[in-house]
Amino acid sequence: MQNDSGEIVELYVPRKCSSSSRIIAATDHAAVQIDFAEVDPTTGRMIPGKVLRYAICGEIRRMGESDDCILRLAQRDGLIPANL
């Protein structure tokens, strides 16, 4: 597809599962993407650029392991204490 200036652009940007590193297909309708944003305590607004994004593929969700995967990823990134 071309944009207004005539450059070729892609409509689909493939994602990888944050837990298993699998490519998430365009037809994987069970996949989810969760954003955790850091919030300014005085204003209550999101701080730009302080967002962690996790993508979980449908296969992990079907196995019922998505909550464990998100917990492990959040501990790795320091959102949750490691001794929880």
CATH number at residue 30: 3.30.1230.20
Report the 10 Å Cβ neighbour count for 60.
21
* Residue 36, amino acid: F
Residue 55 included in any domain: yes
Examine the pLDDT at 12 and tell me if it is beyond 90: no
Q: How many domains is the chain built from? A: 1
Q: If you average pLDDT over every residue of the chain, what do you get?
A: 91
Over residues 2-26, mean pLDDT: 88
Examine the pLDDT at 11 and tell me if it is beyond 90: no
Q: Structure pTM?
A: 0.76
Over residues 8-24, mean pLDDT: 89
Confidence of residue 51 (pLDDT cuts 50, 70, 90): very high
Structure tokens given for 59: 């296969």
